[in-house]
Amino acid sequence: MNQKKPLAFISGASSGIGKATAFSLLHQGYDLFLMARRKERLIELKKELEELAISMTHTAHQKQSDSEMAPSQIHFFAGDVSSLTEIEKMIQGHQSVFKRLSVIINNAGLAKGSDPFHKNNLNAINQVIDTNIKGLLYLTHQLLPFMLDKKEGHIVNLGSVAGRWVYPGGTVYCASKFAVTAITEGLRQDLLGTGIRVTNIEPGMVESEFSMVRFDNEEKAKAVYEGMTPLTPEDIADCITWSLSRPKHVNIQEMIIYPTDQGAIRMVHRQGSHK
Ligand code: 8X3
């Protein structure tokens, strides 16, 4: 039987948690729709995922010779989540694909610097708010109708421990992640009765491009994880995949994940130190 697979949409899919989640969900048998700004990265990633999907299908064929299994399909769109126009263009161009939408992973997000608020650059403030809050809202608002029609689906928002606790130099980033916490909680309440689940995944320190984007400085970015073992994007992809794989009547509202070496934000055990 050659059945259509459910579709998972992932924003910020070209690296880090988004990319790791793409691989993890491919293994779970989803078709994927990847969105990110960097087109070359998406082209490369699509190729990698397609190759893996084909090899997975061959292995499955060998095990179940009587079933006809198609490899997962990988779709992508290069665009910025903070642009409603680009989101609308993406959806208009892929109506039939989005009809199979089952999962939205709102992963795109960033921090810019760690200066005190009065030293923040206005462009950076706008970029963080526009991506982390407005981007998430726009995408969810435009994609939700495809899931409402089906009376089931799952929205996973990538929050952060910074959406629970505030730290100096994190005013704008923390505000954006507090918004993600509120949006997730609100959506879960607003969507009650629709069959759609909503989950907030809130990681502590994850080693990815996050710190490089935040500091725009390789040395500073490296120093963040020095002497400690941070979480990996794959650790978080595991949590996302587990939340999605619960029975349909189970909604994981939120999950806070710290590395064992992190006691709280800015409280890190580093080799040879107690802080
Ligand atoms: C990232 C966690 O501690 O850098 O979301 O703000 S932190």
Compute the average pLDDT of residues 256-263: 98
pLDDT at 70: 87
CB within 8 A of 61, min separation 6: which ones? 67, 69
Compute the average pLDDT of residues 14-26: 98
Instruction: Give a three-class secondary structure readout of 90-122.
Output: HHHHCHHHHCCEEEEEECCCCCCCCCCHHHCCH
**pLDDT above 80 (res 274):** no
Amino acid found at 251:
N
Nearest to 152 by CA among 203, 223, 103, 220: 103
**Active centre residues (catalytic):** 173, 177
Q: What is the pLDDT of residues 117-152, one digit of tens each?
A: 999 999 999 999 999 999 999 999 999 999 998 999
Q: Whose CA is nearest to atom 2 of ligand 1?
A: 204
Amino acid found at 113:
G
Tokens read off for 139: 């995408």
Question: Domains plus CATH for the chain?
Answer: 7-203+232-257 (3.40.50.720)
CB within 8 A of 7, min separation 6: which ones? 30, 31, 32, 33, 97, 98, 100, 101, 102, 103
**pLDDT above 50 (res 66):** no
Residue in 157, 265, 268 to alter for ligand 1 test, most ligand atoms within 8 A of Cβ: 265
**pLDDT above 70 (res 275):** no
In angstroms, rounded to a whole number, what is the distance separating the alpha carbons of residues 1 and 86? 36
Tokens read off for 151: 């009376």
> In the chain, helix, strand, coil percent, each to 5?
45, 15, 35
Ligand 1 in contact with 211 (CB < 6 A)?
no
Q: What is the pLDDT of residues 84-126, one digit of tens each?
A: 999 999 999 999 999 999 999 999 999 999 999 999 999 999 9
Residue in 112, 114, 157, 173 to alter for ligand 1 test, most ligand atoms within 8 A of Cβ: 173
pLDDT at 272: 75
Q: From residue 266, give the alpha-carbon distance in Å to each of 166, 168, 218, 263.
A: 10, 10, 19, 8
User: Could you tell me the distance, in angstroms and rounded to a whole number, from the CA of residue 95 to the centre of ligand 1?
Assistant: 35
Query: Structure pTM?
Result: 0.94
pLDDT band at 83 (very low <50, low <70, confident <90, very high): very high
Q: What percent of the chain has pLDDT over 70?
A: 95
pLDDT at 151: 92
Q: What is the pLDDT of residues 175-231, one digit of tens each?
A: 999 999 999 999 999 999 999 999 999 999 999 999 999 999 999 999 999 999 999
Ligand 1 in contact with 128 (CB < 6 A)?
no
pLDDT at 149: 86
**Could you tell me which residues are beta bridge partners of residue 8?**
32, 103
Closest ligand 1 atom to 174 CA: 6
